[in-house]
Structure 1
Amino acid sequence: MLLPVKVSPSRRVWADVSFCYEKQIYANSSEELSRYLLKYGRVNGVYEDEQIAYEIRRTVSSMLRRGVPHRQVVEEASTLYGIPEECVEEVVAAVPAENSTPG
């Protein structure tokens, strides 16, 4: 999962993090009652905006050209890259208008 980290007002980096957890089920199924215990988190890498922006823009641009609705583009890209939807919105806003269709 990529998380944005503001280093300064004008600089953001991305931390590639993973978490290890334990799931405890207290009933017949996880839908009835369960609890997650975070065991630890780990930073696997740190990247500059430019290092991840190209791939995200490419994916977003391709989806918009295919006519995928704006909301779906944001949700799918967020899931695919493991980044918050607000950050995908920034990338979508940066894609030239001729690649997008209303939706």
Structure 2
Amino acid sequence: MLIPFKCPECGKKYWIELSIRYELYNYVGAMSELARIHIKDAIVRDIWTDEEVAFEVQRTIASLLKEGIPRKQVVEEVSQLYGIPAIHVDELIENLLSKVPELNTPVG
């Protein structure tokens, strides 16, 4: 999982690669009814600069948008592929579209 982090010292944006171990306790039949997640461990696997993550992820986003894939689907696919929460993928898309607005035009 990649989570963005802004350094309080320098103000730069970094991405922290986390691995999380957890236990899931279901108290009722369906998880939506009543469940508890107990986080056992969280390990920082790596730290990436914003430039490293943004370049790779935005390249993937651009290719999907050029193919005419709907934005919502792009967010879902990129989120799953890179392990980035959807809200942050949406921010990366906004940033890319501000630089390359023609990607916002549907194909066909």
TM-score, structure 1 length as denominator?
A: 0.80
Say if 1:49 and 1:30 are closer, same or farther in 2 by CA, change over 3 A.
same
Matched, 1:43 2:47: no
The answer to whether the 8 A contact 1:16-1:44 is kept is yes
Identity %: 39
Matched, 1:99 2:100: no
- The amino acid across from 2:87 in the alignment is E
SS of equivalent to 1:37? strand
SS of equivalent to 2:63? helix
Q: Distance in 2 between matches of 1:31 and 1:60?
A: 32
Q: Distance in 2 between matches of 1:11 and 1:84?
A: 19
Q: Distance in 1 between matches of 2:4 and 2:86?
A: 11
Q: Deviations over 1:17-37 (max 9, x none)?
A: 011111223345656543221
Q: Distance in 1 between matches of 2:70 and 2:22?
A: 35
Say if 1:75 and 1:30 are closer, same or farther in 2 by CA, change over 3 A.
closer
The answer to whether the 8 A contact 1:2-1:82 is kept is yes
The answer to whether the 8 A contact 1:3-1:14 is kept is yes
Q: Which residue of 2 aligns with 1:18?
A: 19
Please tell me the root mean square deviation across aligned C-alpha atoms, in Å.
2.2
Say if 1:101 and 1:72 are closer, same or farther in 2 by CA, change over 3 A.
farther
Q: How many residues end up aligned between the 2 structures?
A: 102
Q: Distance in 2 between matches of 1:34 and 1:7?
A: 34
Q: Which residue of 1 aligns with 2:74?
A: 73
CA drift of 1:41 comes to 0.6
Matched, 1:86 2:87: yes
- Superposition misfits of 4+ residues, deviation over 3 angstroms: 25-34
